[in-house]
Amino acid sequence: MSLHIQMIGTGSAFAKNYYNTSALVRSDNATILIDCGFNTPRSLHELGITPDQIDGIAISHIHADHIGGLEEIAFRLLYQHNKKKTKLFLTDTLAGVLWENTLKGGMYNPEEGFYCLDDYFDVILLEERQPSTIASDLTIEFIPTLHILRKASYSLFINNQTFYSADIRFSEELLLHEVVKHRNCHTILHDCQLSGRGAIHATLEELLTLPEDVQKRIYLMHYDDKMPDYIGKTGHMSFIKQHQLLKLSE
């Protein structure tokens, strides 16, 4: 079984050089997009990937840099690919606010019979902290993590071996105990605010406090345009680059 992850974008919400952070998880039997920000469709286009080649999209939370490209994907599937739907994996907590607070304004179209999220996507609601089989060789698990107070946000475990933070405040307990000690994840993809106070994201300064053996598992993503200034200053952690393909298992 072969499992890879390819970064479609690696930038923060305000980055202009690296596109919104999102990733394609590729197993032998499925291709799943994690998040779909407003410039994710452009990055997919640069890679020659069309919406109908994606088997599903997993949504971590509803900030625009993580869901702003969903309208384009849905409309292209509808009008360019013979009304083909793709699967949309998310929790029930996110599904309602995604439609009512974000997508409905542009996608509600009763004249053509489009009233809700299910009219555009094959919506699959996943339970928190329950590994869900996406394909015979791929599972994902949503775990609630803290990003913005009183707003639902999730990180993902992929095949219980890879941790994908999406957007999260620094949590030493989560990383050391659940991610490393309990699950022994060999790969950690973690968002990283390079400077300043970590109000809603883990900072590089905070991540550098982690033990060396944990740092060696971490690839940094969701960084700003000053990333080149920090090369060589990330301890034992590495920056993952836009469009980079990373092997997770053979």
Query: Catalytic positions, please?
Result: 71, 108
Report the residue count for the chain. 250
Distance CA 116, CA 219 (A): 37
Q: How far is CA 196 from the centre of its chain?
A: 23
Q: Torsion angle of alpha carbons 232, 47, 27, 174, nearest 10°? A: 40
Q: Torsion angle of alpha carbons 157, 244, 103, 53, nearest 10°? A: -90
- CA-based nearest residue to 201, from 224, 218, 228: 224
Distance CA 21, CA 207 (A): 18
Up-side HSE of residue 210: CA atoms within 13 Å toward CB?
A: 28
Distance CA 175, CA 191 (A): 13
Helix ranges (DSSP H) in the chain:
40-46, 64-67, 70-80, 92-98, 104-107, 172-173, 204-207, 212-215
